[in-house]
A = this chain, B = another copy of it.
Amino acid sequence: MAARLSTKADYEGLLQSYDTWLFDCDGVLWQGTQLIPGAKEVLAFLRKSGKAVIFVTNNATQSRKMYKGKFEKLGIDAHVDEIVGSAYASAVYISSVMKLPKDKKVYVIGMSGLEEELRDEGISILGGTDPADNVLGSFSLENWTPDPAVGAVLCGLDVAMNYTKFSKAFNYLLRNPGCEFLATNTDSTYPTAHGLLPGAGTVSAPLRFALGRDPLSIGKPAGTMLECIKAKHDFDPARTIMVGDRLNTDIEFGKNGGLATLLVLTGITKESEISGPNASPTVPDYVTQSIGDLRALIEE
């Protein structure tokens, strides 16, 4: 059973137990463009207390550089190296784990942040924000010359997803021998300040359905993002805690990596999913209402 945190002593125990704090962002630090009350103060306090702070987000619409801009806008300190996004992790996976040869290309259903991370890793891409693929309407194979160099299709959240992109991606996966089917992440929904929208998983869903085949998902809860963090930061998993709002991504990610886990209830997961008859089998180590609760540590 998860430990419910509520007293100053509870949060002090947490502070003494963990040196490295991994944070999911959407639903934990902010909701859309609105900061969670207290998030900024708590992060500043953790840093002042000598803790390492790392931001681990499945959001693949933005590159780490773009994401840093979001932190700045909200008044939170963050260095690019402290941000690990599934766009970056996908680029690292393709270049370093999958080792896609340099003469091969990736067909992307995704946005400019994903393209930026792929290009920064020296990966050649097709699709994405190319105006030719950002159209509404029918698609004909008759006038299309598929590129035999495409060795992977990568799907991230793309608010410009459309039939042309799906048709091309589908045909690459169908025709190009060995073409890998990858997803930055497969979050089913995307939390905003005004409610839920379809998440990144809905971008690969049409291809899953047409092909009868599932993508390899790079983001949380898979371990690739933890490998990306390990490559840049020294940390002891036994003294590291993952803070998130989603059981099937954040909390499972922490558990898979041997980290402690803290669930906050300011995002996707609701109280009914962690207690009562319909509780999920994924149980976080700790639960608190909001990251802002840790302000108890700061107040005199």
Contacts and interface: CB of A to CB of B under 8 A. Distances in A.
Size class of the contact patch on chain A: 35 or more
Nearest to A135: B136
A107 interface: no
Given A188-B212, A195-B171, A209-B188, A139 B159 contact: yes
Contact of A201 (B163, B193, B209): B209
A237 interface: no
Interface in A196-223: 196-199, 201-203, 205-212
B136 A198 contact: no
Interface string A123-154: 00000000000111111111000000000000
A206 B195 contact: no
A176 interface: no
Interface string A40-84: 000000000000000000000000000000000000000000000
Interface string A15-31: 00000000000000000
A201 B208 CA distance: 10
Nearest to A169: B198
Interface in A160-174: 160-163, 166-167, 170-171, 174
A210 B206 contact: no
A192 interface: yes
A7 interface: no
A194 interface: yes
Nearest to A157: B163
Contacts of A171: 195-197
19 contacts: A134-B136, A137-B159, A140-B192, A141-B192, A141-B194, A142-B194, A159-B163, A160-B163, A161-B162, A167-B197, A188-B209, A189-B210, A198-B207, A201-B209, A202-B205, A205-B208, A205-B209, A206-B206, A208-B209
Interface of A: 134-142, 158-163, 166-167, 170-171, 174, 186, 188-189, 192-199, 201-203, 205-212
